[in-house]
Amino acid sequence: MRLTKSHVVSGVLALALLGATGTAWYFAAQARTPAQRAEETSEPDDSVITVRVDQDQLIDTLEFDAVLDRTGDFPVAAPANPPAGVETALASKIPVKTGDEVKAGTVLLEVSGRPMIALDGDVPAYRDLKEGDTGPDVKQLQRALQQIYGTPETGTFDARTAGDVKKLYDHAGYDHPVVTEETAEEDTEETDTGTEEDTGETEENTGGAQAATVERVAVPASEVVFLPELPMQVGKIEAKQSAPVTGTVMTLASGDWKLEAKLDEESASELSKLGEDAELEYGSGPLEGQEVGAFELETREEEAEGEEVYEGEEAQTTEVTYAVFEFDANAIEGLEDLAPGEEQELSLVRARSAEDALIVPLSALWTDGEDKTMLTVLEGDDKKERHVEVAVTLRHEGRGVVEPVEGELAENDEVVIAWRDRGNG
pLDDT in tens, 367-388: 999 999 999 999 999 999 999 9
What confidence score (pLDDT) does residue 313 get?
A: 62
pLDDT digits over 298-334, tens only?
999 998 876 555 555 666 889 999 999 999 998 998 8
DSSP characters over 320-363: EEEEEE---GGGSTTGGG--TT-EEEEEEEEEE--TTEEEEEGG
Mean pLDDT of 23-52: 58
Nearest CA-CA partner of 346 in 281, 287, 396: 281
CA angle, 134 then 219 then 180, to 5° = 85
pLDDT digits over 222-250, tens only?
999 999 999 999 999 999 999 999 999 99
Coil, helix or strand at residue 76: strand
Domains with residue ranges and CATH for the chain = 48-58+355-420 (2.40.420.20), 79-179+206-246 (no CATH), 255-303+316-352 (no CATH)
Report the chain's mean pLDDT, rounded to a whole number.
Answer: 86
* Contact indicator for 90, 246 with CB cutoff of 8 Å: no
Question: What CA–CA distance (Å, rounded) separates 116 from 239?
Answer: 13
The more confidently predicted of residues 119 and 201 is 119
